[in-house]
Structure 1
Amino acid sequence: MKINHIILYTDKSTTGGFRGRTSGPSLSKLSKKMDKFVVAPEIKVAVEQLEGDQVRRIQDRNREVLAIAPAMPLKLIKPFRGTESTRPESQPLWNIKAIGADTSPYQGAGVRICILDTGIDRSHPAFAGIRITEKDFTGEGNGDTEGHGTHCAGVAFGRDVSGYRIGVAREADNVLIGKVLGKNAGGSDMLVNAVQWAVKEGANIISMSLGMDFPGFVEELELAGMHKEAAISFALEGYRKNVLLFESLADLVTTQAHAEASQPVTIIAAAGNESARPDYKIAVSPPAVSRQIISVGALGWNGKGLYVAPFSNTGVMLSGPGMDILSAEANSTGLISLNGTSMATPHVAGIAAMWAEKLMKKNQFHTNMLHSNLMVSCDDELLSGEMSEDYGSGMIKAPVN
């Protein structure tokens, strides 16, 4: 059975090109460092219908092929409706205060944030005055009929609405929105192409509140005629290969930045909402589980301290506010409260933009330095009684000086 596969390779491939749909920024460049030339490979992607033996032949014969994985369906990391009655009369909102965004001198100025999600309702007052570059990867056109991407964008960089500060990096004014999820969902091939696009367009921070749909992939394979047990086995292998593919992609993005072939880029992703504490916990799901991608868990506030959200997956790198988060509601001018690691992730994206702004001003902005500052600044002081594997390094914090 032939199935669409994503082929990730570099610009030195000698195969004469792949037959499938290709994309990728021309980012190859030589940069002289310490009297040595460093070559940054160009990231290229092809999508082809392949069978098992063809996959093996391509990998065996082409050293420049870094990873091959079946294109798996994507799904929203579905949030839960928050409690509107918790909306306070005074500022700041609990989440803005918890991460120190209200007292930081940095607001993400000059940093380019990219949200890869369901699109954006750019007419919402939360985005007034912001330069927004949109690209649709779903074939459905720009905009946001679901509302998830609009809410996430509002958290990351939205302006004040109805007297509420909802956005973290409020001076990020030149942003990217990639629509990778629509009415007919999306695929991991779309996501790979969207990451490439974001890098090419100058993104410094890429935020993804989505996951791979394992049950949906099994169902697709069965509908295509594969026996149930074989479909489960193939989907498991595809799941593993997609994790490795996104690790290779993130590694290449980091390599390009280190060689000054692109700007520094940090990729952040939601850990997932599949846990149900205290009954059981689920591990971080892909793409967040891939190495070089910052996985984000969700925390709440009970009036006395922080707690791990009952749905938040375990094994995260760090955490952000994910309970009762007010942000922009699509197709309206108002706000809506949602819970989820989807909401925690753009908090981290906004804080990363703040740290990037600080590092830019000190001429110290590169990926490793940003990662180090994000991790070291996390705080677990108000998380007594919780297990560190559930919140990672702790609550992310904005730079203070």
Structure 2
Amino acid sequence: MTQRYTVLRDVRGLHTRDPFSGRVPAPGLESFGPSPGVTTPPEPRVDVADLSPRDIRDLSRDPEVAAVAPVMPVQLMKPSGVDATTAATSAWGIATVKADTSSCDGTGVVVAVLDTGIDASHPAFQGVELVQQDFSGSGDGDRNGHGTHCAGTIFGRDVGSTRIGVARGVRKALIGKVLNDRGGGDSDSVFRAIQWALAGGARVISMSLGFDFPGFVERSISQGWPAALATSRALEAYRGNLRMLDALMAMVNARVAFDGGAVVVAASGNESQPQFKISVAIPAAAQGVISVGAVERAANNALAVASFSNTLPEVCAPGVNVLSAKAGGGLVALNGTSMATPHVAGVAALWWQALKGSVPMVRAQQVVARLSSSARTDGFASGVDAADRGMGLVTAPP
């Protein structure tokens, strides 16, 4: 019996005396410098194959194989719409993260948005080189709207007299369509898109999506698996994909010494409820990924954590009543950690630009350190749990 798996390899070749010493280290043991004798950065390659248990055993003996995980469904972090009577008329998140007073605009920084694609004809993206790649099988473009909205918050130009973009000086963006027009996809598309974004020189990678555990259970049941076994199978797949993400992020971190690496940002999830808290989901839960929670404006313009935002994020950003580009033209306000994540991606681009003049080569962990150290905890309403807001509200460089 075979099952569809994603296989992550490091195909750079081994440049060490010991043929195993150049392998990607176990998560948590990765180094930010090259190992002795390693002369090239890791080169992740993602393959997909139908494998039997014997095939998996054989792959585990291959020194180039870093991880193997069952393919599982992914879906966008589904946002909720905003009632027209209360919809924002300005992108309040821009000022909240202090992008409006920053001396930086993201010039020279390449960003990647892995989502539902983009409406390339939208005025918000005029003058931006958009490199599109479809991993979903549904073709380039955005017939869902989620990816267009997220991209607009990261680097969108002004629409009319309304500013929507945090880093509106970005000149090149990699648009990986990993979710189809209904907002669904498979994990292998995400892994292949991350590989593609790294190869394309992305310095910031933004993902507002989640791995669909319930969807995997339902898929298995539809294939005849008993419910209990389908749940166990989904847990195995979830665990395997988390390890796959950890291994891939270890490769991303190992590239830092060679080309600076990339900052990877992901939504924490929209699964919490006022009386129930759910922790950060994958891919945001992977080591080295910046997980993002959502905040909203409360009374007296104080900030509160949105009730839907998953707990234990690393940082937070505006994610309620966020105004950005609408596929087909115009603007629309949406709620979700999906909307908070591009604020953080945009601020990361600003910090990357800010550091360029002070160091010979900007490295991803330097940008991450600035995101963390500059996060603000003032301005929150009383009673906000630190576990829900993380290190605080991301803030742009002065």
Q: Decide: shared fold, TM above 0.5.
A: yes
Aligned to 2:207: 208
Q: Which amino acid letter does the alignment assign opposite residue 181 of structure 1?
A: L
Q: Aligned pairs, how many?
A: 376
Aligned to 1:359: 355
Deviation of the 1:88 alpha carbon? 5.9
Aligned to 1:168: 166
Aligned to 1:372: 369
Residues 67 and 33 of structure 1, relative CA distance in 2, 3 Å threshold: closer
Deviation of the 1:56 alpha carbon? 3.0
Aligned to 1:250: 249
Separation in 1, partners of 2:43, 2:79: 36
Q: Which amino acid letter does the alignment assign opposite residue 70 of structure 2?
A: P
Deviation of the 1:209 alpha carbon? 0.2
Q: Deviations over 1:76-119 (max 9, x none)?
A: 10001124444566x6x421111001100001010011100000
Separation in 2, partners of 1:33, 1:10: 14
Unaligned runs of 5+ in 2: 15-32
Aligned to 1:146: 144
Aligned to 2:378: 381
Aligned residue for 2:101, secondary structure, equals coil
Separation in 2, partners of 1:86, 1:104: 28
Q: Which amino acid letter does the alignment assign opposite residue 157 of structure 2?
A: R
Q: Decide whether the 8 Å contact of 1:13 with 1:65 is kept in 2.
A: no
Separation in 2, partners of 1:283, 1:312: 9
Aligned to 2:395: 397
Separation in 2, partners of 1:234, 1:126: 43
Q: Which amino acid letter does the alignment assign opposite residue 108 of structure 1?
A: G
Aligned to 2:331: 335
Q: Decide whether the 8 Å contact of 2:88 with 2:321 is kept in 1.
A: no
> Which runs of structure 2 are paired with 1:1-400 in the superposition (5 Å)?
1-11=1-11, 38-59=39-60, 61-86=61-86, 93-183=91-181, 185-258=184-257, 260=258, 262-277=259-274, 279-302=275-298, 303-331=300-328, 333-363=329-359, 364-383=361-380, 384-400=382-398
Residues 212 and 298 of structure 1, relative CA distance in 2, 3 Å threshold: same
Q: Decide whether the 8 Å contact of 1:83 with 1:324 is kept in 2.
A: no
Q: Which sits farther off after the overlay, 177-186 or 38-47? A: 38-47
Deviation of the 1:386 alpha carbon? 0.7
Deviation of the 1:293 alpha carbon? 0.5
Q: Decide whether the 8 Å contact of 2:142 with 2:181 is kept in 1.
A: no
Residues 304 and 139 of structure 1, relative CA distance in 2, 3 Å threshold: closer
Aligned residue for 1:102, secondary structure, equals helix
Aligned residue for 2:391, secondary structure, equals coil
TM-score normalized by structure 2?
Answer: 0.90
Q: Decide whether the 8 Å contact of 2:45 with 2:192 is kept in 1.
A: no
Q: Which amino acid letter does the alignment assign opposite residue 346 of structure 1?
A: P
Residues 88 and 286 of structure 1, relative CA distance in 2, 3 Å threshold: closer
Separation in 1, partners of 2:220, 2:37: 49
Separation in 2, partners of 1:309, 1:175: 29
